[in-house]
Structure 1
């Protein structure tokens, strides 16, 4: 394997996993380590032991921040057509025996060129070797050095060229002028490259701009902020399917409901009728398409919304879910309110009536079906502006919304009844893991970090809470699907004044 991975920095976790899963021969083992307590805030680590790679993503946006080569024997790596590690025989041949990393002279003379002095990290108690980290723009290498040979006055070029230093033990790829500068904002600085691998490799004129954030305003209006172009407003019961395609591109898949039937359209696949009560995401007979996440579970949420909303629809006309997996949300397109009520005014046959914003929480049933969607709820409570975000715990959001809507309930009993969570089980009829080709390691703990990298201690799946059972909590215009660790798996927005 020849790695040219720098252009992947900034890509979404969903995009990277989708690509890796599409090539099981190249990437036979995929291990995902994350915090079950803080899956939205703490970093996510993707280990590829068969390839000698480790990828680190930030938690809030799930974007690739750091690529580490930790085993040079697993793959063949090149830099500007030069082998990173000198090999005998076929340079593309992957060997099973340990291969030492590139020497300092090879990196310095043939690949990256001169560098400023790096950082020396003394060894832990009882160990004889320290670590020297040398960095170039976007690259950093680690070398083991005999501690007794280290001196602040030593010339690092002579030291790393001598026998007291080993070849590089690992190589890091990041965005920044140097590793000391980059690590200060490794998980917080806005990446230069987009989340979408298609946008990173093609002209923006041929690929729809990606959505950075969704802001939920009152009265059924959602503003979609884009990476490089102006924002786009979705008005519930106003925006048409044609508007969606013009602004967001064609959906990755369409699940169409007609009466009691359900059919799927994705990537030109032929329509197949489904059992009337089966959600597309829960149907065990529904296979994956070229998108790893060409499944949706919005039909179940739609059924639950009907139990919470005061007005229920009895119509049997066509409805369709537009699935935008790469944008991180689904859209329900159905008959506008004007066809059911004289209070609304629109001449369109079908309009957007609900939007489903997915959080892509590791360990949840819906993991890796969509990329993570970041959102904000803009509240204007008696002239006081407040914002609720997708990074917040549901309890924090619930406390604010309970305060905002307290006066709208007839009595305490109605308030208690409307705010009671309903249990939704998404795990029946599926495998133990949300994505069978990915091993999820929950409950990792970040060990004491050295100056160049932290150490990950992964837990086991037995330590993970049951993420297939979720609870649904409704507020006017909003429906939250909440996991056992109080993180929000999906936010559904439907027509109601906030």
Structure 2
């Protein structure tokens, strides 16, 4: 059902590219690339629980509404709410044939039951009748379902009976043409709605993959497993997991597993290098975020990671030809994987963060080899609605495996829960109660000023639309607030957290 509908707007036919299972990033990017076809975009989400509740993309000028689940941000439901906004075609058959204009208006009603039954989809099992919620209303709703698609017909409540022949009833004057159409994954709407936002999507996150050779695209990442000691595992849709070992995985290894990056950037700006943990007695020691047993906490200071809305003179885009010639890569650069939801920092090998004390993962005993460039940091983007970098990456989901029980912290966990667990894990490694207090003290990032550390810090983002102090606006020139987020550091991990407790970005180093 996903790719079988064509919609004609303004005399131009355009195939509906938003297949079920597509990521919010993929769909929103496509919609925004056609402003004449989709002139209005309305995104609705929960400001308090943006990662748990559905995200709704409304296209009022097109009569469409798209619903995405919150945790994975994948398209679960496509609804046509206004049939007058475009000519809908299914397998070269006009869905609206037989539609009527409402008396006194130019609004085109949807298809009638006879057209759906005789011309489009044929016989169906009985549907579901929903009585009117308003006692004064004369019409309820009869939902007629086919595999993957359903129609809603207004039906006179007085005409309804459980013993009625639904075909005869919907063919009579008691039923009006359909007011909406829904596209979903499932054999019927009653069966699908109970697991609409939780079942495994049938199709991939990128619509382009559906109709093309799978070998032409890198396999999509389902989950990043953070094992500790600089070891990560990328769980993939169709292929075995891919391993990333900080300080050992090379740029060529990265490309072999995940394809070429969407962009490569290097950056010279080090305006917040004062905040690096430099050991005892220095300014950096006083300002460091948290202790890092075994390695020393370092605040990353060389990011581009595509989060900046404005590129300053310190940012340089590297030629894609550098990918095939590793000797031409700069000593420090970022591989930006927008469609995978992460960035990789490429530099000379450094010692990664320590293993979790509760884990059986062992730390590498090999010393870094300076001549060869490797991946030294992985930046996982949450794509949280309302944050400053929203829709620059698709959402990356992750799990932190603190021990072998499998009960780890996830990208959907509130940061209060994450912080509590990590502080418990590292409590025996703190040298003093002061270090324990420091671990709970965040650094604040301001995304509202163009000359702030936002343009050089490794975690960028966190402009929230609403806060406890009132509404904010995004980076559109309206000063609704500073848009601050907070950085919390733990050994080998750095979290950027929004005011609502959602993790906007996680760096593993």
Shorter-chain TM-score: which interval?
A: 0.7 to 0.9
State which of 179, 190, 195 in structure 1 corresponds to 2:189: 179
| Counterpart position of 2:30 | 19
- In 2, distance between residues paired with 1:109 and 1:442? 50
**How do residues 125-144 of structure 1 correspond to structure 2 at under 5 angstroms?**
125-144=135-154
> Are 2:385 and 1:372 aligned?
no
| Counterpart position of 2:117 | 108
8 Å Cα contact 2:18-2:27 kept in structure 1: no
State which of 29, 48, 59 in structure 2 corresponds to 1:37: 48
- In 1, distance between residues paired with 2:302 and 2:255? 28
Aligned residues: 415
| Counterpart position of 2:344 | 331
| Counterpart position of 1:420 | 441
The runs of 5 or more residues in structure 1 that have no matched partner are: 89-95, 262-275, 287-293, 295-316, 431-439, 444-459
> Are 2:125 and 1:99 aligned?
no
State which of 108, 115, 118 in structure 1 corresponds to 2:127: 118
Which stretch of structure 1 is more off in the superposition, 193-202 or 79-88? 79-88
Deviations 1:360-410 (A, max 9, x none): 000000100100000000012xx7664110110000010000000111111
> Are 2:508 and 1:474 aligned?
no
**How do residues 139-154 of structure 1 correspond to structure 2 at under 5 angstroms?**
139-154=149-164
8 Å Cα contact 1:237-1:337 kept in structure 2: yes
Deviation at 1:256, TM superposition (A): 1.5
| Counterpart position of 1:227 | 237
Deviations 1:278-322 (A, max 9, x none): 956335357xxxxxxx9xxxxxxxxxxxxxxxxxxxxxx721111
- In 2, distance between residues paired with 1:3 and 1:191? 24
| Counterpart position of 1:359 | 382
Deviation at 1:346, TM superposition (A): 3.5
Deviations 1:190-227 (A, max 9, x none): 00100112222211111110000000002100000110
Partner SS for 2:200: coil
Partner SS for 1:165: coil
- In 2, distance between residues paired with 1:367 and 1:11? 17
> Are 2:262 and 1:255 aligned?
no
| Counterpart position of 2:411 | 390
| Counterpart position of 2:425 | 404
Change (3 A) 1:115 1:461: farther
Considering Cα pairs closer than 8 Å and 6+ residues apart, tell me whether 1 or 2 has the greater RCO. 1
- In 1, distance between residues paired with 2:482 and 2:68? 21
Change (3 A) 1:277 1:199: closer
Change (3 A) 1:4 1:119: farther
Change (3 A) 1:396 1:228: same
- In 1, distance between residues paired with 2:484 and 2:417? 21
Which stretch of structure 1 is more off in the superposition, 116-125 or 413-422? 413-422
- In 1, distance between residues paired with 2:466 and 2:190? 29
Change (3 A) 1:62 1:442: farther
The runs of 5 or more residues in structure 2 that have no matched partner are: 1-7, 100-104, 272-300, 318-329, 352-364, 452-463, 475-479
Change (3 A) 1:54 1:351: same
- In 1, distance between residues paired with 2:488 and 2:465? 28
Deviation at 1:323, TM superposition (A): 0.5
Change (3 A) 1:133 1:230: same
8 Å Cα contact 1:257-1:318 kept in structure 2: no
8 Å Cα contact 1:67-1:173 kept in structure 2: yes
8 Å Cα contact 1:3-1:76 kept in structure 2: no
- In 1, distance between residues paired with 2:113 and 2:171? 6
Deviations 1:129-167 (A, max 9, x none): 111000000000000011111111111111111111100
Deviations 1:400-450 (A, max 9, x none): 0000011111111122123310000123249xxxxxxxxx9879xxxxxxx
Partner SS for 1:379: coil
Change (3 A) 1:121 1:260: closer
Change (3 A) 1:149 1:385: closer
> Are 2:106 and 1:83 aligned?
no
State which of 256, 278, 290 in structure 2 corresponds to 1:246: 256
Partner SS for 2:154: strand
Partner SS for 1:223: strand
Partner SS for 2:208: helix
- In 1, distance between residues paired with 2:211 and 2:466? 33
**How do residues 3-18 of structure 1 correspond to structure 2 at under 5 angstroms?**
4-5=15-16, 8-18=19-29
8 Å Cα contact 2:221-2:236 kept in structure 1: yes
Change (3 A) 1:44 1:159: same
Partner SS for 2:137: coil
- In 2, distance between residues paired with 1:336 and 1:119? 62
| Counterpart position of 1:434 | none
Partner SS for 2:426: helix
| Counterpart position of 1:305 | none
- In 2, distance between residues paired with 1:173 and 1:47? 15
RMSD, matched Cα:
2.8
Deviation at 1:337, TM superposition (A): 2.8
> Are 2:39 and 1:50 aligned?
no
8 Å Cα contact 2:47-2:465 kept in structure 1: no
- In 1, distance between residues paired with 2:38 and 2:263? 26
Deviation at 1:86, TM superposition (A): 2.1
8 Å Cα contact 1:282-1:429 kept in structure 2: no
- In 2, distance between residues paired with 1:259 and 1:393? 32
